Every structure is written in structure tokens, then in C-alpha cells.
Amino acid sequence: MGLNRGVSIVGAGMTRFHNRIHMDKTGRELFVEAALEAADAVDHGFRFRDAGALFVGNFTSEVFEGQGHIAAVIADWLGINPIPAYRIEDACASSGAALNLGAMSIASGMTDIVVVGGVEKMSRLNTDQVTDALALAADSSYETSVGFTFPSIYAAMASAYFKKYNTDWEQLAAVTIKNHRNCVLNPKAQFQLDIMATAQRMGEKSGRIFKNEMEFLKSDLNPIISSPLRLFDCCPVSDGAAAIILAADDVAGRYTDTPVKIMGMGQASDTIALHSRPDFTTLRAAVKAAEDAYKMSGFTPKNIQVADVHDCFTIAEIVATEDLGFFPKGQGGKSAEEGRTALNGELPINPDGGLKAKGHPVGATGVAMAYEMFKQLRGQAGKHQVQGAEVGLVHNVGAAGASVAVQVFRRG
């Protein structure tokens, strides 16, 4: 299976992800900002009116900001009526799914150019309300009803992983430390402090000095959210939007000389409840989506030079790097500890700071990952550039893996 017509990214933009600075803006306004930046990033110029369709990934603007029908709202605000505006909802994989559908719409021949993006405006609700809203992505009838929340489902996954592979929380902390080192180099990231700087700042407030990152991460300043996951194992609440412009390869040359081509893509589903799966230490949908994307692309895990994976919780990054075939089962955590996934490691994972430190406005995340690949593969990622990267992969997960979208990109 493959696309009957090649598709490339010719422009990408995103707002900064943040929990406070966008407080006075709505989701539509954030999306327009991201889309304007994407249009500006098109080397030979782009007008929104060139687009034949709009695809918007969004989890729940109804709950987060009291606005439904968000794709139509955004099409209106971009000034591109009457083109079709589609909203895609696959929980946290909404915009990864939107990207796949946008590419398929071009491949189908219905249009040559589409705008694909994602947005979530989460900060209007307090933390308890956000917990309830995110829990809607799990099984309301059979998981949330017995006390599971979104973090506690991943925490349960971590408990099974630790037991199976005889490992512990310290491997999770290695992911936290690595992703916070990366976010400092990414001006779009919500957090701008590494863990040592965070420890110093938080320590000062309570008159304490931490000798190293681990001492801080094991302290009461990093409280347990749902054991074994602590605060710094969890992505933050964020507002933000990301947008990309996709073009058929046969017209992409009008827009840029260096497109980023979609080489392969995959999307898969799995049971909504974690308990219905035979193994809680892998996401079968990620394995399947990646298998399809690799097959279409002609690449294998060994060809991937940079990847953005869905680290909504630190355990998720470890499982992802195994599901994607980068490391053997049970070795993902050790690989993070050994620095193999660091910015200067053999396979940099989440050079932008990941969901953990860049932020996770859920509906925006999949396209924000594609934004990162657009920058990385064109050598425009600034201080967090992976030197010489030409092939990259993104992995965008909905809830606990009931939906997963994967794409493999190459510099065109």
C-alpha cells in the first residue's frame, strides 16, 4: 500500500507551547498564528487561498474552551471559505491522524495543496478539570469508572514494565533529564530550564540545595502523581497550535526547492481499555503503524536519524523507542540512561524537548512533531539541530495507544 501521488511538507509553523502566555487567546487565534508562520516558511511564497482543504486535529475544544465545530471556525478565520474544513479527533493523536488524512486527500487527486494543523487551548480549566477532560480519552465505562485517570493508566503500564524487565523509576528519570536538556535549546518549548536549573530555582524557594538532578527528582519537590510516576515524569498542561502546508510532489517545486517528503505513513488502532490487551508493556498500534510506515518508506529503524516520539509520560518514550524498533524490548530505558537518545547520541529522540518539556497541547502535538522534522531535515532547527539528519520519524499516540499515527520523512 502506498500513496498514488507523492506528498511533501512545503511549510511549517507553530506557536510557542505554554501554559500561561496564551491565556488571553482562543484556539482559533493560536491556530491562525501557527498557520501564518507556516505560510511565511514557504520559500517561494504561499497564500491560504491556494489550499484545497483544511484538516484540523483537536481533542476537545468543547470541554476546554466551550467551542465546537472548530475546523469551520478556523477555516473562517483563515479566510479560506468555501474550501472543505475537516476536524479530526483521535485524542492526543488527532493531528497525526489529520496529517495522514491530509496526505491521502492529495494522493486521491481531490486537491493539490492542503493546510493541516492541530490546536488545543487547555489552560482555561484548572488542573482537576483538565484531569477529567483528558480521562475522556480513556474508557469512561470501564477504566475511568473504577478510578483510573490518564496518568494512572501509564503508571500501571510502568508497573508492568518494571516487573517484566526488572527495572525501576531511575530509567524514567533519565528521560526527564534528557528532554529537559533539549528544551533549553528550543525557544518554542514551554520549559526553558534543565533539571539542574529547575532544582536550583525550586530549591532556593525552600532553602535547599540539591547536589545533582537525581537528588532533586527523588525529593518531595517532585511529588508522586500516580506511583511510580512523579510530577516530572508527566507532560505539562499546555496551550498551542501547529500547522503545516502539504503539497503534491508534482506542484511542490512552485513553493520550495527543499520540501520534506512523506516517505511512509501508518495509522493503527487498539482496544480502548488497556486491560483488554495481552501485554501492557508495548503499544500494538504503534508497532503496526510503524511497520506500515517503514514498509511504505522502504526504510528500516536503522535508517532513522532523528525521531520525535510521544512521551506524554516518561515510560511512554521508553516503550516507544522499543515499539519503533530502535532498541530491543526492555532496553529502551537503559538506552536513555546511556545517552544513546541524547541530542549528541546515536539516535537523538525528542531533540525539541518532547511532550515532556516542549509541552503537549494535545490536538497540536502530531503536527508539531512534523514541524520539528521539517526544521530538522532542512537543517533549520537551530541550537537543537541534529547534524546532517536527512531521514526522520514521528510517532503520535492517542490516549494509551488506542490510536497511533506514524510518519517517516526525508529531505526532498
Nearest one of 112, 12, 86, 50 to 407, comparing CA atoms = 12
Q: Tell me whether residue 149 or residue 258 sits nearer to another protein (CB atom).
A: 149
From the list 18, 92, 180, 395, the catalytic residue is 92
Stretch that binds another protein, among 158-166, 203-211, 257-265, 308-316 (CB under 8 A): 158-166
Q: Tell me whether residue 147 or residue 388 sits nearer to another protein (CB atom).
A: 147
Asked if 237 touches another protein (CB under 8 A), the answer is: no
- Min separation Cβ 218 and another protein, Å: 16
Q: Tell me whether residue 196 or residue 231 sits nearer to another protein (CB atom).
A: 231
Distance CA 227, CA 155 (A): 6
Of 69, 81, 110, 145, the residue at the interface with another protein (CB under 8 A) is: 145
- Min separation Cβ 280 and another protein, Å: 5
Asked if 157 touches another protein (CB under 8 A), the answer is: yes
- Min separation Cβ 163 and another protein, Å: 4
In our burial notation (b when 16+ CB lie closer than 10 A, e otherwise), range 318-351 reads: bbbbbbbbbbeeebbbbbbbeebbbbeeebbbbb
215 Cβ contact list (under 8 Å, min separation 6)? 199
Distance CA 352, CA 94 (A): 20
Of 47, 49, 69, 163, the residue at the interface with another protein (CB under 8 A) is: 163
Alpha helices in 66-149 (DSSP H): 70-78, 94-107, 127-135
**Residue 320 in contact with residue 311, Cβ under 8 Å?**
yes
- Min separation Cβ 231 and another protein, Å: 9
69 Cβ contact list (under 8 Å, min separation 6)? 87
- Min separation Cβ 129 and another protein, Å: 8
Asked if 159 touches another protein (CB under 8 A), the answer is: yes
Ramachandran angles phi, psi of 11, nearest 5°: -160, 150
Alpha helices in 169-224 (DSSP H): 169-183, 195-205, 213-217
Of 20, 24, 128, 302, the residue at the interface with another protein (CB under 8 A) is: 128
- Known catalytic residue: 92? yes
- Min separation Cβ 125 and another protein, Å: 12
- Known catalytic residue: 234? no
Q: Per-residue string for binding with another protein, 272-301, x by CB under 8 A?
A: -xxxx---x---------------------
Asked if 219 touches another protein (CB under 8 A), the answer is: no
Strands 113-121 and 53-57 turn out to be parallel
Distance CA 106, CA 118 (A): 18
Residue corresponding to grid cell 498564528: 33
Among all residues, which ones are annotated catalytic? 92, 360
Binding site for another protein (CB under 8 A): 127-128, 131-132, 135, 141-149, 151-152, 155-160, 162-163, 223-229, 271, 273-276, 280
